[in-house]
Structure 1
Amino acid sequence: MRIVGPVTALMLVAALAAGCGGVVDGTAKPAPNLKPRPLSGDTVRRVLLDGDALSRMLGQPFATRKPAEFGGPDVLSQKDETVSPANCLGVTAMLQKSVYQSADVKDVASQSWWNNGDPAQVISVIEGVVALPSAAQAEALFAQFSQQWQQCNGASTTEQNGPISTTNVISDVRVPDASKTIVAATNTATSVLPNMPPLRPTPQARAIGVRLNCLVEVEVVFFGDRRPSDPGSGNLDTSGIDVARAMMDRVSALG
């Protein structure tokens, strides 16, 4: 008969007390009836993908210019320029304070990644996570955002930032799968400076998703003059969605 030593026995008791269904190969496995926990505090920051993960997904290297931002609602951005129509701001800009003003935002994390300067498909990736007190609140806010995004399909927004005028054309707003937990869109931004011809349009893949008590936001900005032969596997139709799904999977793993 196999004798279970006192240390092993204590590990088994601790695992069962913690709500684990058993021990397989020395690893405690969560019991199937345990409910996922809402994410809070520094755990929210861990939802962000690192540069290596993004490089594998998009087939090109990325670098960051500053550490991830993390904190409360104060981390949300506030556009100083005028945007019209205002109800489409959430589609054309990431993590806006005015967009989340009705929500009880607890934690926010965001990170920007940039192409290293070589020819590539993608200029930059911005990822963000917003944690609310409960999954129910996150799902309700996502439903509101999803409706707003779909109402903005085909709209053009204008932004005036000093002498620079930017037009965003919102297109291809879609719910990509049956779970209805992600909504995606394509923005095409064209900026004009005084006494100069318009700059080359810049396509952007946007996505927002919900998992547990978190909303994740993604913006993947593509080179307007990219060529199929340029390095990278980024795809305007799918890359924003793929990054959002990867972040949502991390929410589930951390919950």
Structure 2
Amino acid sequence: AEEIAELVGEFRGSLSGEHGDGRARAPYIEKVLGKEMMPVLKQVKEIWDPNYIFNPGKIINAKPIEEDLRFSPKYFSKPVDTEFNWRKEGSLNEALELCNGAGVCRKLSESGGTMCPSYMATNDEKDSTRGRANVFRQVFEGDDPEQYKSDELKEALSLCLSCKACKSECPANVDMAKMKSEFMNGWHKTQKRNFSDWFFVNSSKLYGLASLFPALANQFSNLDLSKKMLENIAGISRNRTLPKFAKQTFKSWWKSYECKES
């Protein structure tokens, strides 16, 4: 980096193009522009931003590039057992390291696109793809055998909708939905499932039984007591309007339709 900066300065070139200098190149601006230009840059900065609110530590008073590293020199991660195939990424550990911190996931709904819906709702870093990737990487750093039992990571993933917007819109194609599924698979191997999980896993069977008595099922589901019970045991808000059961199932309707056609 030092040699490149000196070469750029020698030929009066530019360290960067449309992306600007930023944290990575700022330490070498003096080599390119010369010492006499640094006080001028500082003067311009203090005129427009006397309190150094905007991008502190960039351009002016920049730290050396070996400081504030995303990974510490002691960082390592031990391969873990997985359910999904991570061959394309190399491994789950390497997939976790795809996030480059660009922060494209930290955008508001007015910016267009889908990523990241949970961040758009809360404006909280922990609910962005980048925030989750950071927690993921911290939990899976080292060789802790309890990685799939992390309450902190489960909390960070709680608002992830698994919409896969990050897979298509993130410049690094971070697939947080797949990572969440991998973690939750490991989590449920060691943790007892609650009744809400059981309810939704078996909902098709329960609805099939209720469809035998549609009028009674519809009346029962509209009772305040029923709504309160579903909220307590299945986690379904009492304010949610549940879909009504049809008087005739699609299967029976189709059979009668075939008879009419024949």
Shared fold by TM > 0.5?
no
Tell me which structure has the larger Cα radius of gyration.
Answer: 2
Q: Normalising by structure 1, what TM-score?
A: 0.22
Q: Normalising by structure 2, what TM-score?
A: 0.22
Larger RCO, structures 1/2 (Cα 8 Å, 6+ apart) = 1
